[in-house]
Structure 1
Amino acid sequence: MNAIDSVTLEVADPQAAARFYSDAFRLDPARVRVRAGEAPTTGFRGFTLSLVVSQPGNVDALVTAALDAGATSLKPAAKSLWGYGGVVQAPDGTIWQIATSAKKDTGPVTRDVDEIVLLLGVEDVRASKRFYVEHGLTVAKSFGGKYVEFATGPDTVKLSLYKRRGLAKVAGVPAEGTGSHRIALCGADRPFSDPDGFVWESTAPSAVTG
């Protein structure tokens, strides 16, 4: 195992969710999949997905499209020390960060996505880092017990680790939450769960395209 081939979101209405992700983000269903799932869950599910884009105008375009398609704004797009971004919650409950490190637009505004990043909110970043290294991932960046980013290849989803409470703060929601994460990660040689209960699957489930 050296990367996440795709993520699968477990949602109450797969057709509606697939339609949202196609309309709002134009996501490749091979990277972000949806399937029926109603496992009990409350509050913060312990992860966010990020769409990394090339310029602020693209952030605004994606945020606007998401809100028009039924998403809820958690943090309006704004400038920060690291760039520009905002946070929305999809109708199925998944939290999406949309961000760029660029300070200004340098080309025509599009809804093109350069990278998809899955950030897992974990209780012990160092322990989870060791766990994933033992399972074949390569560390690209590491900042002590606060943040870890793993190397990734083309056409995969980047994996990063963040303290759960810190990730919830970034997302603009309370850190408390119980029950299912309602997400499965595909790319493992065999199924397993990590120390925080995130499930890895060895084969990708069928995508629902609506």
Structure 2
Amino acid sequence: MTSIDTITLEVADTAVAERFYAAVLGSDSRVRVRASQDPTSGFRGFSLSLIVAQPADGDALFEAAVDAGATVLKPAKKSLWGYGAVFQAPDGTIWKVATPNKKNTGPAAPRYDDIVLLLGAADVAASKQFYLDHGLTVEKSFRTMYVEFASEPGAVKLGLYRRRALAKDAGVAPDGGGSHRLTLVGASEPFTDPDGFAWETSSITAES
């Protein structure tokens, strides 16, 4: 295993989720939904980011999400690292639109270059070693706070962040329980990581 092929968001209403993601992500096949009634509450321990080239593109995506039914968690603003905003999809998934650039260089368009999945880890060092043992390679690492793994072109990028810090970045309380409502696809064989995030093989998802 070297990267995530797709992610599956487990939602209560697939029709609502599919309409929402079609409006925001278009036909991006890396994000899928499937029905689930597994109990979940509060922060689910992860967030997804749409990485854009400039602030105007982030604004366009953010507005498209809100128009499609998203809830604003953090309005768009500049920061030391760049520009971003956070919203929550109708299914409860937390999304961030972000760019390291603070100035626009062209016309606005609701487009993004990458999708990044950040998993909230209770122990970043332990989870990092777990993923190294499962074949991933570290691309960036900031002590025991943040880890970003290398990925193949076009794949969803994976990172680890302290759970409480990730919740703070998203603008929500860190408490939560029950199902993550998320499955990662791309493993050579199914497994569950130290923080309870489940991985499937691509063949399992294709058959479901």
Deviation at 1:26, TM superposition (A): 2.0
Instruction: Please tell me the residue identity of whatever aligns with 1:139.
Output: V
Rounded to whole Å, the distance in 1 between the matches of 2:145 and 2:207 is: 34
Quote the residue 1:117 is aligned against: 116
Instruction: Please tell me the residue identity of whatever aligns with 1:25.
Output: L
Matches within 5 A, 1:137-156: 137-156=136-155
Deviation at 1:153, TM superposition (A): 1.3
Deviation at 1:207, TM superposition (A): 10
Rounded to whole Å, the distance in 2 between the matches of 1:48 and 1:71 is: 14
Q: How many residues align?
A: 207
Quote the residue 1:7 is aligned against: 7
Matches within 5 A, 1:26-41: 26-28=26-28, 30-41=29-40
Runs of 4+ off more than 4 Å: none
3-state DSSP class of the match of 2:49?
strand
The answer (yes or no) to whether the contact 1:48–1:118 under 8 Å persists in 2 is yes
Q: Deviations over 1:52-107 (max 9, x none)?
A: 00000011001101000000000000000011000000000000010001111101
Rounded to whole Å, the distance in 1 between the matches of 2:181 and 2:201 is: 17
Quote the residue 1:46 is aligned against: 45
Deviation at 1:138, TM superposition (A): 0.4
Quote the residue 1:58 is aligned against: 57
Q: Deviations over 1:124-166 (max 9, x none)?
A: 0000000000000000000111000000111100000000000
The answer (yes or no) to whether the contact 1:25–1:65 under 8 Å persists in 2 is no
Rounded to whole Å, the distance in 1 between the matches of 2:73 and 2:114 is: 21
Query: TM-score with structure 2 length normalisation?
Result: 0.97
Rounded to whole Å, the distance in 2 between the matches of 1:206 and 1:84 is: 36
Instruction: Please tell me the residue identity of whatever aligns with 2:139.
Output: A
Quote the residue 2:184 is aligned against: 185
Instruction: Please tell me the residue identity of whatever aligns with 1:2.
Output: T
3-state DSSP class of the match of 1:155?
coil
3-state DSSP class of the match of 2:98?
strand
Quote the residue 1:135 is aligned against: 134
Unmatched 5+ stretches in structure 2: none
The answer (yes or no) to whether the contact 1:140–1:151 under 8 Å persists in 2 is yes
Quote the residue 1:196 is aligned against: 195
Instruction: Please tell me the residue identity of whatever aligns with 1:63.
Output: F
Cα RMSD of the aligned pairs, angstroms, is 1.3
The answer (yes or no) to whether the contact 1:34–1:207 under 8 Å persists in 2 is no
3-state DSSP class of the match of 2:205?
coil
Rounded to whole Å, the distance in 2 between the matches of 1:25 and 1:172 is: 22
Matches within 5 A, 1:151-190: 151-190=150-189
Quote the residue 2:73 is aligned against: 74
Rounded to whole Å, the distance in 1 between the matches of 2:41 and 2:63 is: 27
Rounded to whole Å, the distance in 1 between the matches of 2:72 and 2:124 is: 28
3-state DSSP class of the match of 1:170?
helix
Rounded to whole Å, the distance in 2 between the matches of 1:19 and 1:103 is: 31
Rounded to whole Å, the distance in 1 between the matches of 2:87 and 2:20 is: 13
